[in-house]
Every structure is written in structure tokens, then in C-alpha cells.
Structure 1
Amino acid sequence: MNRMQRLKEEYRSIRAPERLTEVFDAARECAASSPSRGWHFVRWAAAAVCCLFLCFTVALNLFPSFAAALDQNGAFTPLVQILTISKTNIEEESKGATVVQGSVTGLADEALSDQLNSELAGISDGAIEQVQTLLADEAPLFVNSTYETKFSSDRMLSFLVYVDSSSASTENQVYCYNIDLEKNEVLTLSDLLAEQQPDYIDTISAEIREEILTSPESDFFYDENGALLFETIEADQSYYINTDEQLVIVFDQFAIAPGSMGTPEFIVDSVSVAPLLEP
């Protein structure tokens, strides 16, 4: 179901607000006290309400920008989204954890939904276990795990799950999820780009090298011998789509830079994914 169809369905399910009932009750009381004047008021009120709903329907059908504006301003809730189902806090001497677990809801494919939510539960359980197994240890340990929706439309849901731990050193993990809501499947970078942009690996790699060379932090991307740590992206490199419908490439900690750089990200301008996100 595309965005316009969804908006129409949600319009059809709209219930009259309680305030409207109060208006008609007042109209009936008015009609009882003065039959002629009250009847004109009832007809006027009914006509006004019908006109408002008619205008709303016409706007949804004739002006996509109106429907899109409602959607972007939160008037309608996405059918598929990730919601918090639990939050765990552990507080012990020199140790602690805050773990927010999300769950994907609204997917048409129940098997895919179960698979994703099993993975999300596993990530959260692992973060909690990391602290619990070391409670007797004297070394401090703090773990924070949460999720973040990066992009959501009728066609695609893109979100990240983070697990950050701090002990003798800091460890950052990021899990990228990109779901095609029409095909009900997880989209790898190859799934997203290979067919329409076969040279995406070379194109994206060249842009990332250029970004590194011009970055104020470029020195962190070289080894002790002066060689650039980044060579090329993988065919199925981790990525997400941001709110500006841009492709963002994500690297694991230590993959192309020291651990102090966390999980480096690069916005890719040379590859357009916007046409691939439309229903």
C-alpha cells in the first residue's frame, strides 16, 4: 500500500470527535426550545461538518503535497516502525548498564518480523550479560545500548542499534538495519545499488578516499608507515539512509581508523538513492 492509499484508509477510519457530539446535543436542545430556529441551526451545523470532511477528502486525493505534509508533521503514524518494548538499568558499584530494547512492529511478513526482533533481543541480552558476568570483577564497566530510527517511509525503514561499553578501553558497536517494506526483506548495500549502479563499489570508495584526504582528521586514517588504512568498501558494507534521503556508509570500530574514532561514517553524495525509496 503506497502513502496516498494509506492516508485514504486512515481518513476513512476517522471517528467523529467527542466535541462534535456536544455540538449536536446543543443543537437539539436549541431545536426543542425554538423548533424553527433550532432546525435551521442543525441543518447549518451538519452542512458545515460535511463540507469540512469533503474538503479534507479532496485535499488528500488531489494534493499529494498536502498528504505528505500531514505525514511529515506526525498527523499519521507509520504503519511499520520500531518501538521500545523494554528498558533495563543495572547499577552496581563501579558498574552499570542502560539497555533500551526495540521491536519492529507492523511488518506484513511475520517470519521476517520474528527474525529481526530475535536479533534485537539478542543484542540487548548480550549487553546486559556483559555487565552481569563481570559484577564480581573489580574493574569498572559501563554499557549503554539503544536504537535510533534514521529513515522511515512506506517503502523503507532504516535504523541503527548501538552498543557502547567503557572499561579499560571504549568499545563501540553499531548494527545497521535496512528493510524493504514492499518486498519484506532486509536490504544489503548490494541489493540496494548493484542493479541500477553496478560500479557502486568503486564510485563510493573513491568518494570516501577524497573525504578522508580533505578531512581535518585525515591523519587518523593512516598507519605508522604513512599508508592509508582505507582501501575500498565491501560489496555489502554497512550503511543506512538518513532523513535527507542520503546514503551513509558505516565502518566498524578499528576497521579504517584507531578505536578513538569510534565507528566512522561518510555521507555519499555521488550515489543517489532517493529514486529507490519511492513506493
Structure 2
Amino acid sequence: MSDRDKKPRFHRAPGKGRDAGRRPAWREREARVDGPVILYGWHTVAAALGNPQRKIRKLLLTENAARRLADENIDTRVTPEIVRPNLIDQRLGPDAVHQGLLAEADPLQSPDIDTLPLEGIVLVLDQITDPHNVGAILRSAAAFAVKAIVTTARHSPEATGVLAKSASGALEMVPLVTVQNLARALSELNDIGFMTVGLDSEGAKDLGAVELRQPLALVLGAEGKGLRQLTRETCSVVARLDMPGEIKSLNVSNAAVLALYIGASRLGLMG
């Protein structure tokens, strides 16, 4: 285990924010899955095996997958079951691209809002329900070193299966903060010093024209519905993403990438 792996997921510097110096409070993410989390695919399972905070219960591997893990010196951490590919197909369905790996694991823990570092960017998702979109957002979040993603316990996909596969390992890199009430969570982010910027087509300014500061929370709404009214009202700023072409709207995962690029560039986080 590296020194990095031994450090806590979040650390607040003394004297910063509310409850400064308090030991980070952890709680188990609300279980919305009957039984363990299902992880499949090379990047997803390899990242889980490399994450000391992820408890692996069971590991199914084809002979080829087991050989590849051994060749790349990836510790399986549990004794794997070597199976034929069709057995994993039966577990997941014929459309799942599992690449010969399937893991059953415990859910990761969810940090509290007040343990988030007061720097960089977090993303807040307002009832984005498509697991492919949330997985793609997670992958982009990992690429931009996002500190966490805040999402609701209800009206959001489970952190398992398709979402985990779409995230391509990012589920192990970007913590998910699960909250009961998004408006209350945004209020708490405001209280501890975050600039909360909602992204909405009706925003008063283009995001590129907004004077941004750290810590920054970018708030994304579901496609079609956008931000809910109370979410919009709780954000400190509501901004839009202007497009020069004839199509003026983006898929929410693409909008997340653009917003992250603008935010990271404006905050000097790109290099």
C-alpha cells in the first residue's frame, strides 16, 4: 500500500470551515441495492481491486482475465473463482461487456458535506437518473480531479452495474456524497464557503463570464427538466452555457465536461 493509500479520503486543514479540527464523520451510504454492489469490466474491476477502501466479497474471472491480472501484477485480494465467460453472461445478461471479470463488493462509504476540502471543484447532480450519464460524468470528474459528486439518495441511479461500468474505474476515484435533501445540501455548501453555480439555459450570464472562485460547486440538472426550482433558488449563481452553433443544448454528461473545463481553466487548475 502506498503512502497515498494510507491517507484519509478527505482532510480539512485546521481552522478552515465549520467544525474545524473535527475528525471527519463517515456514514454508510444508504443501501438501495439488495445485496452487494456488482462491478464488471476490466477498468471497473481493476480499479476496485486497487482501492483499499473497497471490500471485495467475491470475484469471478475467466482464465484469460486471471492471466491478465497476474501479468499486470494486480492483487485479486480474494481467491477468485475461475469460470467460463457464459457463466458471467448469465449473471449480467448478454449485452454486458464484462471482459471476463465480475466482482461482488460492499458499497463505498459516503463522506459528509462538512468533510469536503475547501478547494477545487465538486459536482452536484439534481435528479440525473440515467446510469450511463452519471457514469460518464464520474469519468470526466476523475479526469478533472473533482473532489466529490453530491447526489440524492432518491431519483439517482445506484452505484453499481451499468453506472460503474460507464464510469470505467472512476467510481473508486471520486467520492459520492449521498444526501436526502439536495436544497439543504446546497445550503450547507453555501454555509461552509462554496460558490454554488447552477447550470441552466435560463441563466443570467454565460458561465465563461462569471467570476468564479474556489471552492466551487457546479450544479447540473436532468436533461429536459433541468434544475428544479428550489435547487435553482438555493444556488448562489445561475449560469448558462452558450453555444455558437445551431444546436444550443448538450447531453448532460457533455455539458458537465464543458463546465468542468471552463471552471478548471478559470480557477487555474489545469496545470
* TM exceeding 0.5: no
Determine which structure has greater relative contact order: mean sequence separation of CA pairs < 8 Å that are 6+ residues apart, divided by chain length.
2
Query: TM-score, normalised on structure 2?
Result: 0.25
Name whichever structure is richer in helix by fraction: 1
- Highest Rg: 1 or 2? 1
TM-score of the pair, normalised by structure 1: 0.24
- Structure showing the higher strand proportion among its residues: 1
